[in-house]
């Protein structure tokens, strides 16, 4: 399962479910377990029914009705300074949590 069709197909994976979603969201939108479950079920069907290697199937799900999200998703030029600062703070928090977990587990 993935969202970077050109990269994944170039790598030559044997079976691929492509979701035309932003990177990091190939299983579906956050907090939407029904669409995530649908995506997982579809991926398993691709494994079962692919006629051969390098089979790509595109999910019918859409991030939005039109493709405008591709212009806006994580586009710093279209974000306010406040939104950028908020996202940076959230990212820094996630990095700190990951660092703490690595330190606790003894992984370098």
CA distance linking residue 56 with residue 50, whole number of Å? 8
Counted domains in the chain: 2
Residues 46 and 87 grouped into a single domain: no
Convert 68-98 to b/e letters by CB count within 10 Å (16 or more is b).
eeeeeeeeeeeeeeeeeeeeeeeeeeeeeee
Residues 11 and 63 grouped into a single domain: yes
pLDDT tens column, 46-66: 999 988 889 999 999 999 888
The β-bridge relationship of strands 55-58 and 15-18 is parallel
- Give the residue numbers spanning the domain of 3: 1-73
CA distance linking residue 79 with residue 58, whole number of Å? 30
Residues 9 and 61 grouped into a single domain: yes
Residues 65 and 101 grouped into a single domain: no
Specify the pLDDT at position 108. 63
Residues 9 and 48 grouped into a single domain: yes
Specify the pLDDT at position 71. 80
Q: For the beta carbon of residue 30, count every other beta carbon within 10 angstroms.
A: 8
């Amino acid at each position: 399962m993935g969202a970077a069709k050109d990269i994944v197909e170039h790598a030559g994976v044997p079976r691929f479910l492509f979701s035309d979603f932003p990177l990091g969201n190939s299983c579906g939108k956050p907090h939407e377990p029904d669409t995530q479950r649908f995506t997982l079920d579809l991926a398993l069907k691709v494994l079962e029914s692919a006629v051969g290697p390098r089979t790509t199937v595109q999910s019918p799900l859409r991030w939005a009705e039109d493709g405008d999200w591709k212009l806006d998703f994580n586009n710093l030029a279209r974000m306010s300074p406040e939104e950028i600062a908020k996202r940076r703070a959230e990212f820094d928090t996630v990095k700190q949590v990951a660092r703490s977990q690595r330190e606790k587990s003894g992984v370098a």
